[in-house]
């Protein structure tokens, strides 16, 4: 199974690129973040006929979506957990596997709300694990997990996205039986002045706000065992065996 994710930064601005990408890579599951559109504002061209889709947006600066090839499930049940705010998370179950598209608040306008969302995300991940479910989280966590994930010139410990309490919550999320896939595949990848794969991020890597993150179940080492991303766009694809 091919699972793909992309922070599109506005679905209406990425209409052509999205269609080109999907047609080329044909992922089974697509997670999008920061769509910045209500369902009725999504361009018709992006409503792909061979995918079930759930557009979860309010027209503001956030919003997420989740898309499944129709051959995977006849009638998928898309939903969002109770802690969802500002249309920031959507989930779907594929048997015992839950896939979620997540866009964590950056915290600039309401830092306590970001911490609250992250705490709820951790609790939710733990509850799924306790039920015997497996979880794949795709999205923008808006945290530079370690200094390796930040360009040296951008390393500022007091800046939102790099604060100790945020990184501790990222650690807690991983402790909920999850593994940072990209970092696991490339643990020694250094930060450089060039964009590219950087630990938990695909994208520019200069800040926590431009990232694509894959977290897979820790007890399933063969799940999502290959990764690739486009350094320029931040789009990423994982393969689940």
The continuous run of DSSP H or E covering 33 comes out as: strand 29-33
Tokens representing residue 218 in the block:
């820790």
Interatomic CA distance for residues 17 and 43, integer angstroms: 13
The number of beta carbons lying within 10 Å of the beta carbon of residue 83 is 15
Q: Note the pLDDT of residue 238.
A: 52
Mean pLDDT by 10 residues, the chain (241 residues): 88 92 91 95 93 94 95 94 96 94 95 98 95 91 87 87 95 90 73 36 31 57 45 47 44
The number of beta carbons lying within 10 Å of the beta carbon of residue 85 is 15
Those residues with Cβ within 8 angstroms of residue 123's Cβ, 6 or more apart along the chain or in another chain: none
Q: Note the pLDDT of residue 212.
A: 54
Q: Note the pLDDT of residue 88.
A: 97
Interatomic CA distance for residues 215 and 173, integer angstroms: 9
- Is residue 219 left, alpha or beta, with left meaning phi > 0 and alpha meaning psi from -120 to 50? alpha
Q: Note the pLDDT of residue 154.
A: 86
Catalytic residue IDs: 103, 140
Q: Note the pLDDT of residue 227.
A: 46
Please give the torsion angle defined by the CA atoms of residues 25, 1, 71 and 11, in that order, rounded to the nearest 10 degrees.
-50
Q: Note the pLDDT of residue 2.
A: 86
């Amino acid at each position: 199974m091919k699972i793909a994710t992309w922070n599109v930064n506005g679905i209406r601005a990425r209409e052509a690129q999205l269609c080109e990408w999907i047609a080329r890579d044909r992922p089974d599951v697509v997670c999008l973040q920061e769509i910045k559109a209500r369902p009725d504002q999504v361009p018709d061209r992006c409503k792909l006929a061979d995918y079930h889709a759930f557009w979860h947006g309010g027209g503001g600066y956030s919003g997420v979506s989740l898309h499944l090839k129709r051959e995977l499930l006849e009638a998928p049940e898309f939903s969002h957990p109770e802690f969802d705010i500002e249309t920031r998370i959507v989930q779907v179950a594929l048997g015992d596997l839950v896939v979620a598209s997540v866009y964590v608040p950056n915290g600039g306008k309401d830092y306590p709300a970001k911490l609250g969302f992250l705490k709820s995300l951790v609790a939710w991940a733990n509850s799924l694990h306790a039920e015997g479910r497996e979880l794949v989280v795709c999205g923008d966590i808006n945290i530079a997990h370690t200094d390796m994930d930040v360009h040296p010139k951008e390393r500022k410990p007091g800046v939102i996205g790099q604060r100790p309490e945020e990184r501790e919550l990222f650690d807690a999320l991983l402790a909920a039986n999850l593994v940072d896939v990209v970092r696991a595949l490339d643990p020694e990848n250094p930060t450089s002045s060039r964009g590219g794969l950087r630990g938990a991020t695909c994208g520019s890597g200069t800040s926590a706000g431009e990232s694509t993150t894959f977290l897979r179940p820790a007890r399933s080492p063969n799940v999502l065992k290959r990764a690739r991303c486009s350094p320029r766009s931040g789009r990423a694809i994982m393969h689940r065996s």
